[in-house]
Structures are given as C-alpha cells and as structure tokens.
C-alpha cells in the first residue's frame, strides 16, 4: 500500500490488525490539510490526465499529436499550494438545517 499511503503523512502502513489498532490515535492526529494537499498532488483529475497523456505520448512515440485546446473554465483546478487553500470546486456544499 505504500503506493497509496505516505507513511506518517497520509496514514500508516501496518502489517496486521493489532498494529492498526495501535496506530489509530496517530491517524486521528494527522494534519488533514497536509493529507488533502498530498491527495491533490497525486490523485487530482488534472494530474492523472496529464500523466495519461505522457504515457500515451511515450507509447505512440514520434506519431504523437499534441492536442491544441485548453480546458473549459468550469474544469476543476488543483488548489493552490498555500496552506489551507482550497479550490472552490473542492469545498463542501453548505447545508441547511
């Protein structure tokens, strides 16, 4: 799971349920903002799309054609690297009580 979990940053890699129970307090103390930023760096739609384009370009080689378009304005963006910053599209909707 190390390809998904950054040990000590986004969670903890453990070998069994006893270790998982022991780490529960540590998991609850993780910096949620840091976890979210790491998620955006690794798993945002834009980042994953760029990686797919790189892979396909490499596979196609010299026959690759670079797309000549830009993303629409409504396309989700990656939040700023500033601590606590969030993209408008990533905020939770307000709830009425």
Q: Domain coordinates of the chain in residue numbers?
A: 17-81
pLDDT at position 81 is: 43
The predicted structure's pLDDT at residue 29: 93
Q: Which long-range contacts (CB under 8 A, 24 or more apart) does 83-86 make?
A: 83/33, 84/33, 86/36
Write down the pLDDT at residue 67: 66
Per-residue pLDDT of the chain (97 residues; tens, 9 = 90+): 667 788 888 999 999 999 999 999 999 999 999 999 888 888 888 888 888 888 888 888 767 666 667 777 776 665 544 444 454 444 455 555 4
pLDDT at residue 75 in the model: 67
């Amino acid at each position: 799971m190390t390809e998904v979990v950054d040990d000590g940053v986004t969670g903890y890699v453990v070998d069994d349920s006893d270790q998982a129970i022991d780490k529960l307090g540590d998991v609850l103390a993780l910096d949620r903002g840091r976890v979210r930023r790491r998620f955006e760096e690794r798993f945002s739609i834009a980042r994953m799309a760029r990686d797919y384009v790189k892979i396909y370009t490499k596979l196609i080689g010299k026959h690759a054609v670079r797309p000549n378009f830009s993303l629409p304005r409504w396309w989700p963006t990656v939040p700023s690297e500033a601590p606590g910053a969030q993209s408008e599209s990533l905020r939770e909707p307000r709830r009425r009580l």
